[in-house]
Every structure is written in C-alpha cells, then in structure tokens.
Amino acid sequence: MSSNRDSHWDLTVDDRNGQRMLVIEVKTKRNASPEWAAHLRRNIL
C-alpha cells in the first residue's frame, strides 16, 4: 500500500506485478470515537 499525493486518491494497493488493484479516498468523519476508528481500521486491514 502506498500514498499517492499526485493523484486525486489518498492510498493505492498494487499487486505483485505492480498493477493497481485498489484506490482509496479518505474522508473526514466528525465526532468519531477512538473505538469507531479502531474498528474501521481493523476492517480495512
């Protein structure tokens, strides 16, 4: 996974051959609890 500051997305996931498999745009969520953030992170990873 890498960060891509030159494009409109925030993170990318490439396969072993360097082919882009997934792009992720990060959004802000107001009033999110630390528990909510930890749960989301576990789901992503």
Query: What confidence tens digit (pLDDT) does each residue in 1-40 have?
Result: 555 555 677 888 999 999 999 988 888 889 999 999 899 8
At residue 9, the pLDDT reads 79
C-alpha span between 3 and 12 (Å, rounded): 6
Let me know: does 2 contact 22? Beta carbons within 8 Å. Answer: no
DSSP label at residue 2: E
C-alpha span between 27 and 30 (Å, rounded): 10
Q: Hey, where are the domains in the chain?
A: 2-44
C-alpha span between 6 and 9 (Å, rounded): 8
Q: What is the pTM of this model?
A: 0.46
